Chains A and B, each alone.
Chain A
C-alpha cells in the first residue's frame, strides 16, 4: 500500500475545513456501529470522492458533516466532528447549513415548494436575507441550474435531472463553503446524470468550494477528484490520491466497486504481468494506454475478422413461441399526453430483453401496457397469441409479473411469508400450492430464514429480494423488472441481475428496464431503445451498442469499453463491437498471456 494512502501529512497549507476525530456513530435501535473510529481531515477546495458498498457508512459520514447527526438522527456518538472549527455537537443544523450544503439522493424528497423560484428562495428566506437580495440570488440559481423560463413551474413537473440541478442550486445560493453531495445521480437517467455531473464539474473548476461527493458511478467524478475515499463496513479502508487508491483496489477482494472499464482493463493487463505505471481512468487515457502497448508491440493483435467480434455471447435458449407481440399500439394518458405511438414489437419466449432509454421515453409505459395496468388506446397486445386488451391486471398477473423499482411501495404484511402468499392468494390457489410456491421461491432467493420476519425490518437488499419473491410466487411466464439497478451499488445491482438471469435460465422471458449499460451488456441478449414513445433501435445488445451515433439520438452512450474499441478500431485491426472487459482481453490476444512477450 502506498505510504500516502492513510495520512494527510504531505505538505499542504490549505486550511483544514472538516475534521473527524475518532468518530463512531450507532443509530438508535441498531446493534452495530454505522461508522467506527473515523479520523479524517478535509481541506478547503478538496474534491473528494467517497465510494464503497451500500451500508458501508458513506451517507452517515455526510450526515455528520452537516449536523443531521447528531441533531436529527438519534443514536450514540463517540468522538467529534469539526466543521469550520465548529463542533457539530454544539451547533444545530440551521447554523451549520450556512457552511454546509447537503444534496440528497432522491430529488423528489428534497423539493417541497410550489414553484421553482420559491424552492431556490426557501433557504435564503430562512437566512433572513432582504427580499431584493433573495430575488437577485434566485436569478443566479436559475441561471446555474439552467432553469430560466421555468420559474413558476412546479418543481415536480421537471425531469429528474432538472429537479436535482434545482436542488443543487437551492443550496448553492446559500453560499456554503462545503457541498456534500450524497449520491446525487443515484435516481437519474443518463441525461439527468449528465446534467448534474456537468454542474458538479462546473463547481469543481471554480475551486472555491469543498466538494464531498458520494457516488457509485465513479467514471465522471474520478477525473475531477483530488482524493478518493473507499469505505467498507463503517471504516475508511482507503484514502488518498485517486490513482493510488485505484492501484490499491486491484489487490483487494473485500470490496467491489464498479470502476471505469478502462481501469478494469488496465487491472486485467496488470494481472497478466503488464507493467502499467499510469492507471487510466478516462476514455482518452485508456485509448492512449492501448495505443502505446500496441505501438510498443507489447500487445500483438491477431484478430482478423473484418473488424467485427464474431464470438457469440452464451447461446440463447430461445423458443419458437412469440411471448409478446404489440401491434400498432398507442397509449394516451388521461390528461391527453401521448406516451406511446404506433409501437410494434415482438419478444420471443425465453429471451432476456432490455428496455433502455431516457425517463419519459415510453419504457415503463410499454411495460405497464404489457401487464394490463394501462390499456392501449389503439392497437392490440398479444401474450402468447392471446389478446389482453380487455383483460385486467389481476387476470394477467399470472402471466406477466411486474417487479416495481421500490419494494416499499408494496409491503403491508406482518411477515415475509404473508407478503409472498399475497399474490397466489389473489389467484385463489389452494393452500398447499401456495405453501409450496412460497417455500420454493424463498429457498431459491435465499430468504427462507426470514419468512417469519417483518419485511419492514429487513435490509434494503433483502427487501428487494422479497419484492422479487412476491412476484415469483405468481410463477409468471414473463417477468418485467423496472429499474432494478437504480440507486444500487455494483454488487447489489449484479445480485439483482443474477436473480433475473436465474429466472431466465428456467426458460422464462425476462424484460429489464435499466439505465446501467454495463449490466445490460453483461446480462441481456436483446435490447429495445426507446425514444419519444417509440422504438428507435432494436437488436442484439452487441449490435445496439456498436451504433454509438444512433444511440446518441436517444441521449444514451454505450459502455466505455465499447467506446474504447470503437476508437481503436479506426486505427488498428480491432473489432468495434466489444461489450465487456473480458471480450476486450480476448481480442487483444492477452487472455492466456501471463507475461508480455
Chain B
C-alpha cells in the first residue's frame, strides 16, 4: 500500500459510509473543534479513542488507521519536545500563574554543557495534550478523506452554494492526484537515467540541482491541464452550470438525524467543558491531580 493509498477514498458498506455526506462533514468539525478547545490529555485521550472508534466503524483495520500516525510521528515528537522546552521556562505556569512542580531537565548538565529544558508536571501534561490535539486533527482529517468521496465533498460544497467551477476543480484535483504522482515519478526516473543525482546538504544548492525535475513537472502539469480542460468541456461541462445535477441524491434518513442530534449535543457539550466556558477539559485538571498524588497540591 502506497502512502497515497492511505489517504484515498474507498467506498465501503459501513454505518459511517452510509451516513449523509453532510453528517460526515459535521463529524469532522465535531471532533476537531474540541481538539482545539481542550487541552487536558485525559479528555483528549477519550476524544482520540472516539475518533478511533469511528474509524473502526467505517470498517478500516486498526493498522490502516494508525499507519499514517506512524508516518507523522516525527511531527508529533517535534511538537512534544517544542512544548516541553517552551512551556513556562521561568518555572511559572503561563496560564494559571502558579509555581510548576519541577521534575528535572530534558538535557541534564554534562560538564559545562546544559542543563536545558525545564521538565515539570505541568509542562509534561501540557505537551502531551498538545501532541494529542495534533494527532486527533490529523487522524480525523485522514479518516474523513477515506470515507467521503471527492464528489461528495463537492456535493456538500454545492449545497453550501460554492460555485460549480470551484467544486469541479476540487473534485478533478482529487481524482487526478494519482496521475500527477506517477508523472512526478516518471520525471525523476528520466533524469536519473541521465546520471542526475542530488548529493548535497546545502538547501540552496539542492534547490538548483532539482531544477531538471521541477521544470518538466511544471511543463507537464500545464500540458495535462490543457488536455483535461479540453476533455472536461467535451463532456458537456458548462452546459447549464446552475442546474447541474448529481448522480447521488443527498437525503437525510433516520440514522442521519440521530447522528445529527448526537453530534450537535456533543459539540455544545465539548464547547461548554472546553477552555472557552467552564474550562473543565483544561490540562490543569490532570496536572493538579498528579500533584495531589505527589503530595504537592496546586
- Say whether B15 faces chain A, with CB atoms less than 8 Å apart: no
Is there an interface contact between B247 and A404, defined as CB atoms closer than 8 Å? no
Residues of chain A contacted by B239 (CB below 8 angstroms): 94-95, 97-98, 126-128
Stretch of B18-26, B71-79, B100-108, B191-199 at the chain-chain interface: B191-199
Q: Is B186 an interface residue (CB 8 A)?
A: yes
Interface-facing stretch out of A48-56, A108-116, A562-570: A108-116
Residues 202-214 of chain B, each 1 if its beta carbon lies under 8 Å from chain A, else 0: 0000000001111
Do A154 and B178 touch (CB < 8 A)?
yes
Task: Give CA–CA (A135, B248) in the complex, Å.
Answer: 8
Q: Which of the listed residues B196, B212, B235, B239 has the most CB atoms from chain A within 10 Å of its own CB?
A: B235
Query: Is there a chain B Cβ closer than 8 Å to A130's Cβ?
Result: yes
Q: Is B150's CB within 8 Å of the partner chain A?
A: yes
Question: Which chain B positions have C-beta within 8 A of A88?
Answer: none
Residues 1-32 of B at the A interface (beta carbon under 8 Å): 1-2, 5, 8-11
Give the chain B neighbours of A112 by CB distance below 8 A.
Answer: 171-172, 175-176, 228, 231-232
Chain B, interface residues (CB within 8 Å), range: 35 or more
**CB pair B194 A411 closer than 8 Å:** no
> Is there an interface contact between A422 and B235, defined as CB atoms closer than 8 Å?
no
| A366-399 contact mask (Cβ, 8 Å, vs B): 1 or 0 | 0010010100000000000000000011100110
List residues of chain B with CB within 8 A of the CB of A404: 186, 189-190, 193
Option from A97, A123, A128, A394 in Cβ contact (under 8 Å) with B197:
A394
Q: Closest A-chain residue to B153, C-beta based?
A: A114
A185 to chain B, nearest CB (A): 17
Cβ–Cβ < 8 Å partners of A156 in chain B: 178-179, 182
Query: Do A68 and B233 form a contact, CB below 8 Å, given A373-B192, A470-B194?
Result: yes
Q: Are A113 and B171 in contact (CB under 8 A)?
A: yes
Contact of A134 (CB < 8 Å), options: B172, B183, B223, B247: B247
- The reply to whether B193 and A393 contact each other, CB–CB distance below 8 Å, is yes
In the complex the two chains form, is A98's CB within 8 Å of B196's CB? no
C-alpha gap A392/B190 in the complex (Å): 14
Q: In the assembled complex, which residues on chain A have CB atoms less than 8 Å from the CB atom of B228?
A: 109-110, 112
Closest Cβ neighbor of B235 among chain A residues: A123
On whether the beta carbons of B190 and A410 are closer than 8 Å, the reply is yes
Let me know if A114 and B175 touch, CB within 8 A.
Answer: yes
The answer to the question of A523 belonging to the interface, with a C-beta cut-off of 8 Å to chain B, is no
Within 21-67 of A, Cβ neighbours of B (below 8 Å) are at: 66
Chain B residues positioned under 8 Å from A152 (CB to CB): 10-11
| Contact A131 to B247, CB < 8 A, known contacts A106-B227, A397-B193 | yes
In the complex, residue of chain A having the shortest beta-carbon distance to the beta carbon of B191: A410
CA distance A157 to B178 in the complex (A): 9
B237 near A: Cβ within 8 Å? yes
Are the CB atoms of B194 and A121 closer together than 8 Å? no
B114 close to A (CB within 8 Å): no
Of the A-B pairs whose beta carbons lie under 8 Å apart in the complex, a sample of 26, sorted by A's number, is A68-B230, A95-B239, A98-B239, A104-B234, A109-B231, A112-B172, A112-B175, A114-B150, A115-B149, A118-B149, A122-B235, A123-B235, A127-B236, A131-B249, A170-B235, A171-B234, A171-B235, A373-B189, A394-B192, A394-B196, A397-B194, A408-B216, A408-B220, A410-B190, A410-B216, A426-B195
Interface residues of B (CB under 8 A from A): 1-2, 5, 8-11, 149-151, 171-172, 174-176, 178-179, 182-183, 186-187, 189-197, 211-216, 219-220, 223-224, 227-240, 243-249
Binding site for B on A (CB under 8 A): 66, 68, 71-72, 92-95, 97-98, 101-102, 104, 106, 108-115, 117-118, 121-131, 134-135, 138, 152, 154-157, 170-171, 174, 334-336, 368, 371, 373, 392-394, 397-398, 401-402, 404, 406, 408-412, 422-423, 426-427, 456, 470-471, 474
10 smallest CB-CB distances across A and B, nearest first, come from: A426-B195, A412-B215, A126-B236, A110-B231, A152-B11, A109-B227, A402-B193, A121-B247, A397-B195, A94-B239
